[in-house]
Amino acid sequence: MELISKSLKMQPESGLEFVSSTFIRQFGSQDGGWPRLYQAPGRINIIGEHTDYNGGFVFPATIDLYTWIAARPRNDGLLKVYECNARQLHSLDLKHLERGEKGQPVEYLKGVTWALQQDGLEPGGCDVAITGNIPLGGGLSSSASLELALSTALLDCSGIRLDRSRLALLCQRAEVEFVGAQCGIMDQYTIALAHPGHAMMLDCRNLDFDHVAIPPGISFLVVHSGVSHRVSTGSYSLRRDECEEAVRLLGQSIPDITCLRDLSQDQLEANRNLLGSVLFQRCFHVVTENQRVGEAVTALRNTDLQQLGSLVNQSHNSLRDDFEVSCSELDRLVDIALGCEGVLGSRMMGAGFGGCTINIVEPEAVADAVARIGVEYASITGHVPWMHVAAAADAVKRIR
């Protein structure tokens, strides 16, 4: 499913205009009236990687890259979805949803509807047009953005109101149980409940959260490695399996452990031999990353950007060496960025094995960093990376 805008520079106004005009060309405007318009942002994660499915802490923020949807109710129980960029139409019977090939993008459309139905909700049929400018496979939550945008549109067009926390959980269920991507709750919860200009400190076990204002003296530069990843593929699932196996083994000496969130560093050290070297490394990353999240929240509140940058650097080192989810392209981007004046921290972001880096940059240094990263990475890989200076955006919403 080609949801991404071909230009990658489409602004919200032009994106909404494009999806609306494409909707009219595809579905018409006479019988059912004009479409309703919705947008859902992507997200970055400042720090806290591979901690969400371990019951830990994350520190994400939504960003000004979006999925845009135009939708209008229909009365025949069909969901007709037009992909604006791929020029492809899907027709789904809401009463007979069948799983297709695992991991295919159209499965997200089915999965969202399935999850709503499983929760006792019965959204009606809709005509839908979709576009967006979130890079696919970049670790910027393009799938969760699609899920939240579509579910919001389906419920709104059916006159159904739903608590946003519940909606986020249903979208996660769609991705895990229907699509088969074993994601945590971070992406959906952030996109459902974000505040513009703020990051979100989220406890992924009990879903407590706090909005933390982002001070003006910081910029988040996102750089795409050019290597795409898919959460539904094997490497990500293997890391989850390793964490679950570690919890099982640790239960022999720590009876009340339910997830790696419960593990202290002292307990980890005491059980080094029980775990073996690989599982010890995986646990060490999760335990120390949870600690770094708390320290990063304090650093951002105090506008201590040097400390925040240092924590981000430590996070990348641990993801590379302990959790082993980086790749040579991401490591090169980090090395190049840290050689730039005014870049305070850099790390891989997302599940790993490709995708983007996030960089903590002093605002006055952004232009020079973009230029240098572009030139040096192109000299190594042969292509100039896509880059975006992210601003913390609003949560999923109906525009009009």
Strands 125-132 and 78-83: parallel
Structure tokens at 108: 């997200």
Cβ-contact 3, 131 below 8 angstroms: yes
The residues that are catalytic are: 187
Q: Which helix (H) or strand (E) holds 102?
A: none
Phi-psi region of 76 (alpha: psi -120 to 50; beta: other; left: phi over 0): alpha
Phi (first) and psi of residue 394, to 5 degrees = -80, 165
Say which residues have a Cβ less than 8 Å from residue 227's Cβ, sequence separation at least 6. 327, 329, 330, 353, 354, 355
36: its two tokens? 């309703």
| 254: Cβ contacts below 8 Å, ≥ 6 apart | 262, 263, 267, 271
Which SS3 state, helix, strand or coil, does residue 241 take?
helix
| Alpha helix ranges (H) inside 28-174 | 106-118, 142-157, 164-173
Alpha-carbon distance of 121 to 155, in angstroms, equals 9
